[in-house]
Amino acid sequence: MTGGTPAGAGEPAGAEATVIIGQKVRTGREREFAAWQEELNAAAAEYAGFLGAEVSRPTDLQPEWLVVYRFDSIAHLQAWINSATRQRFLDRGAAYADGPATQQVVSGGIRPPDPLVTVVVTHRVRPDHIDAFLDWQRRMTEQEGAFEGFRGTELFRPVEGLQDEWTTLYRFDSAAHLETWLTSAERRELLAEGERFHDFHLRTLDNSFGSWFAFEENGRQAPPPSETRTSVAVWVGLYPTVVLLTLALSPLKMPLWLGLLVGNLLSSFIMSFVTMPFYVNPLLRRWLRPRPGAPRARTHLVGLGTVAAVMVFWAAVFCLVTTRIWHLP
């Protein structure tokens, strides 16, 4: 949703609910934290209404570990957030945390159409300032929309029983375009006008490669796979794409610099619009995004076995083609 009516206002009781949790981790405890978080996510998957969980490691844009949980309703999310099971995990995980975690809850879900750089901003707004806040937020959105790379914004009302803050999500197509907006004179002027709303927290979510993995689960965009699985999946798609392009372009006998220039451009388009959506995503779907409750060890072994079999197949095919059938000039 771009501008206009705040999401979360008048949401039906069964609307999807999402919580974004940010946590700084003590230096040297990252591996233990990751293992603990995986156990915690598996425990969450046992609760009613669980749709998925995503863990994002720190990046240059995003200094914290981020965990996103999706449930099919506020009630089910609240049951998990307030559960004794989660509290036991939090007590044990306190040894890995560098300070308290932050948490934002939105009702209606987060459904970005592309893998954009997303900024999450939470504001504490007094009840008698709500109309002024909405007007100020509308003007903020209008200014954002004039900047290159802006892809939309969503505004979520507080969630009773879970969160008192208003949450705003806005998205840009790249970190560079986002930085232009964040450092702009127009934004500084609007922040000065909305001084009464300066009690806010801002967080950036970085999601590289996301458009190559845009599956749909339960009618909603599913969270992206881990960085390791993403890299392996890209390799599965990139190898046949690059080899086939090399064979196709070789009769043109272009110099190396030109051949790489043209080949890289074509491979980028082919990977984004053909290879990933029609070959890699269907092939590795359940490894990249396992179903909630699926056996992790078996899912991982089946996925790695599929990757190995496919790559052996392509290697054998291209070896036969380039040594027995078609010799490159």
CATH number at residue 148: 3.30.70.100
Which residues are paired to 23 by β-bridges? Answer: 65
User: How many domains is the chain built from?
Assistant: 2
Q: Could you tell me if residue 9 is inside a domain?
A: no
**Do residues 289 and 223 touch, judged by C-beta distance below 8 A?**
yes
Coil, helix or strand at residue 160: coil
Structure tokens at 131: 């109309």
Kind of pairing between the strands at 65-71 and 102-107: unpaired
Query: For position 328, what pLDDT does the model report?
Result: 60
How many Å apart are CA 77 and CA 69, to the nearest integer?
A: 8
Q: Could you tell me if residue 30 is inside a domain?
A: yes
Same domain, 125 and 150: yes
- Describe the strand order of the beta sheet including 50-56 as a list of residue ranges: 50-56, 65-71, 17-23, 102-107
How many Å apart are CA 168 and CA 178, to the nearest integer?
A: 15
Alpha helices in the chain (DSSP H): 30-44, 74-81, 84-93, 130-145, 175-182, 185-193, 227-249, 256-270, 281-288, 296-320
Same domain, 25 and 164: yes
How many Å apart are CA 101 and CA 64, to the nearest integer?
A: 10
Query: For position 74, what pLDDT does the model report?
Result: 85
Handedness of CA 136, 142, 147, 153 (dihedral sign): positive
The values of phi and psi at residue 156, to 5°, are -115, 130
Same domain, 176 and 255: no
Angle of CA points 113, 71, 89, to nearest 5°: 120
For residue 130, give its domain range: 17-213
**Do residues 151 and 160 touch, judged by C-beta distance below 8 A?**
no
Going from the C-alpha of 49 to that of each of 20, 167, 295, the distances in angstroms are: 17, 22, 19
Same domain, 66 and 206: yes
Q: Could you tell me if residue 220 is inside a domain?
A: no
Going from the C-alpha of 76 to that of each of 36, 39, 81, 101, 223, the distances in angstroms are: 22, 19, 9, 21, 19
> Which of 213, 247, 274 marks a domain boundary?
213
Same domain, 234 and 140: no
Same domain, 88 and 124: yes
Same domain, 189 and 235: no
Q: Could you tell me if residue 49 is inside a domain?
A: yes
Give the chain's length.
Answer: 329
pLDDT, one tens digit for every residue, the chain (329 residues): 333 334 344 444 446 788 888 889 999 999 999 999 999 999 998 999 888 888 888 877 778 888 888 888 888 888 898 899 999 999 999 999 988 888 888 765 444 444 567 788 888 888 888 888 899 988 998 888 888 888 778 788 887 777 778 888 888 877 788 888 888 999 888 888 877 776 666 766 655 444 444 444 433 444 556 778 888 999 999 999 999 998 899 889 899 889 889 989 999 889 988 898 889 988 998 888 776 567 888 888 999 999 999 999 999 999 998 888 876 65
Same domain, 231 and 199: no
Q: Could you tell me if residue 237 is inside a domain?
A: yes
Structure tokens at 236: 């599965």
Q: Could you tell me if residue 149 is inside a domain?
A: yes
Query: For position 199, what pLDDT does the model report?
Result: 60
